[in-house]
Structure 1
Amino acid sequence: MVRTRGAHRGGSSSSHAEAFEQKPRQRPTASIRRRGKGHHRESGPSSHGEAGSSTSHGEAGPSSSTPIDIHEEQENIIHHEEVVAGQDHDVLGGFPGGPEDTSLLTGFANHVACAIWDGQDRVDMKLVSHGKKLKRFGVCHAVVKPFVQNSGLMPLCDIIYEYPDKGLIQAFVERWHRETDNFHLPFGEMTVTLDDIFVLLHLPIVGGLLSNEALDFDVALECVIDLLGVELSKASSELNHFRGPHSASSINVSYLNMFADLQSCGRFAWGTIALTHLYEQLSDASLAHTKQLVGYLTLLQSWIYEHFPGLGRKQVLDNYDEQRPRATHYVTPRLNCTLVEVRAQLDALT
């Protein structure tokens, strides 16, 4: 007698359907298939078996002499399609040397690490940092200093690295994954935390959050004139340029409105805001097509110095005051690390 797929000898197909429904279905992931625990195709009797039981591929086929449970057959068909689709995804989505199960790192095909494993050269990333220019401003003027202190941002005036370490930062960017907001390293995963922000920069991590809403042209124009002291004609020209296709060279004036009342700036959790911004910039920079990394790179660089003492060519100050932010413990030299050098150091970590 011909046996339908999965049916028990001597048992009814309806009882098997109930057992099939009660048994939890395993997701057909690549790891389960490699362990042999997935649902595999079952071969029916061979062509040399019982008469009339074989198909052209040697699988069991339906017969009018055996009742077939329609619900069971539909479940088998759906599940078989899932396994086949999972196999195709495993072939196309699995990456040699990288993740084999892409159910978590869903955007890995666009990640810079995928391009590197495929033999492509990494785009020479540009680090947009204005630390050297900010150093030229010097210390706060006596009139301005009270406002800066009330804002909670005073520590940043003394924490500026003139020379961002390009090779060091770029090597860590290659190991950042936007799905997990972590650096994936040989020994596990690490990330920048709020505690790091407070220890490195002494920025407040408790307080209100910013609501960055787009400003109308008239409101933005008023902010630029009143808060920056820019003339009407120049402010209008700059804002029109900002709204155009080449707006990358202009400032985002929506942030200016937050400084309209300098006395209330201290109520914001600037540390939380800085961490969120860093996550966003790292996620963008980890894509293969991204050509630059912007933001407060001193934060990322000081975090690497603090947690990976053997990396980088930083100089450690002997007269460091433990009461000051930890980022001021280091001085960046003009000579940077090479990307190849830092990659080898990261691969050797245990």
Structure 2
Amino acid sequence: MASINVSCVHRNPELLWLQAADEHRSYNISHDRALTEEPRCRRGDGGLNRQLQDGVPNEVVYYIRSAGFYELFQAYTCQLDHSLIIALAERWCPETNTFHLPIGEATVTLQDVQEYLGIYPEDDDLRKGRMKFNRLAGTITFEHWDPNDEESCKQMARRVILALIGSQLFPDSNSYDVSLNYLLFLGDLSIAGRRSWGSATLCCLYRNLSKGTWPTRQGIDGPLLLLQYWAWERFPRIAP
């Protein structure tokens, strides 16, 4: 009787196996199947990064801190490592919400969210309760602004926080708009930080990482800065 030798060794043991055909990037990579071009890690800030680098007055930073968004505010100017994010997405298991790594399984937790992020218009710019990011970023300016006006400081703090939420915690898939519904939770900045922003952010990351495993996916969305900080903390050798 003829014998047949079957090798079940995965070509790249760091990638997931036993995935359904054409339903996960790792399957297509290991089987030389078609893939879209490398997905783009979307981070839409509409010029906000430049505005924050120019400096935010202490009077506004005070209200950002009282609302519980100060750590996210500090971390915002960090640049995304696209190659790192894509490599992690290729090792993400949607069924268990964990990364499949040579050292075992690992994932981002609520503790990580707390540690890394510190969080427990004109008519033609507004549509369906959304605002264009470049328009929102353009309103964050301190040229003709009175630092002694408490209400003005609060309004400016809400603009910065809304931009941070829309660009870092719950970014829209097209990266150009931000939902104005979040303003409903920023009325009283002294209690805004008590809301469960961390849980919602973690759910958003899990959902978008699972979408990012699709072979035909052209972009990876979600709170990617959180994922990058998590990777740097867990794998210090790749941290800058």
Task: Check 1:199–1:267 CA distance in 2 against 1; reply closer, same or farther (3 A cut).
Answer: closer
Question: Is the aligned partner of 1:118 residue 2:31?
Answer: yes
User: CA contact under 8 A between 1:113 and 1:174: conserved in structure 2?
Assistant: yes
**Which position in structure 1 is the counterpart of 2:41?**
127
User: CA contact under 8 A between 2:114 and 2:198: conserved in structure 1?
Assistant: yes
Judge which range, 286-295 or 155-164, deviates more: 155-164
1:239 partner letter: K
Judge which range, 117-126 or 170-179, deviates more: 117-126
CA shift for structure 1 position 270: 2.2
**How do residues 288-327 of structure 1 correspond to structure 2 at under 5 angstroms?**
288-311=215-238, 314=240
Q: How many residues align?
A: 183
**Which position in structure 2 is the counterpart of 1:322?**
none
2:62 to 131, 146, 149: 146
Question: Is the aligned partner of 1:281 residue 2:208?
Answer: yes
Question: Is the aligned partner of 1:179 residue 2:95?
Answer: yes
2:80 to 144, 151, 164: 164
- Cα distance in 1 for partners of 2:207, 2:119 equals 19
**Which position in structure 2 is the counterpart of 1:255?**
182
CA shift for structure 1 position 114: 1.2
1:164 partner letter: L
1:146 partner letter: Y
CA shift for structure 1 position 118: 2.2
Unaligned runs of 5+ in 1: 1-94, 205-229, 315-350
The superposition leaves residues 313-339 of structure 1 with CA deviations (integer Å, 9 ceiling, x where unpaired) of: x1xxxxxxxxxxxxxxxxxxxxxxxxx
Larger radius of gyration: 1
Q: What SS does the corresponding residue of 1:157 show, helix, strand or coil?
A: helix
- Cα distance in 2 for partners of 1:196, 1:163 equals 19
The superposition leaves residues 155-201 of structure 1 with CA deviations (integer Å, 9 ceiling, x where unpaired) of: 11111254311111111100001110000112310001122222223
Unaligned runs of 5+ in 2: 1-7, 11-15, 132-172
CA shift for structure 1 position 308: 0.9
1:178 partner letter: P
Task: Check 1:202–1:253 CA distance in 2 against 1; reply closer, same or farther (3 A cut).
Answer: closer
Q: What SS does the corresponding residue of 1:306 show, helix, strand or coil?
A: helix
CA shift for structure 1 position 143: 3.9
User: CA contact under 8 A between 1:131 and 1:161: conserved in structure 2?
Assistant: no
**Which position in structure 2 is the counterpart of 1:234?**
124
User: CA contact under 8 A between 1:132 and 1:162: conserved in structure 2?
Assistant: no
**Which position in structure 2 is the counterpart of 1:42?**
none
- Cα distance in 2 for partners of 1:241, 1:265 equals 20
- If asked which structure has higher relative contact order (CA below 8 Å, sep 6+), I would say 2
1:270 to 178, 189, 197: 197
Alpha-carbon RMSD across the aligned residues, in angstroms, is: 2.9
CA shift for structure 1 position 300: 1.0
User: CA contact under 8 A between 1:200 and 1:302: conserved in structure 2?
Assistant: yes
Task: Check 1:196–1:162 CA distance in 2 against 1; reply closer, same or farther (3 A cut).
Answer: closer
> When the two structures are superposed, what TM-score results if normalisation uses the length of structure 2?
0.65
- Cα distance in 1 for partners of 2:27, 2:46 equals 34
How much identity, in percent, do the aligned residues show? 28
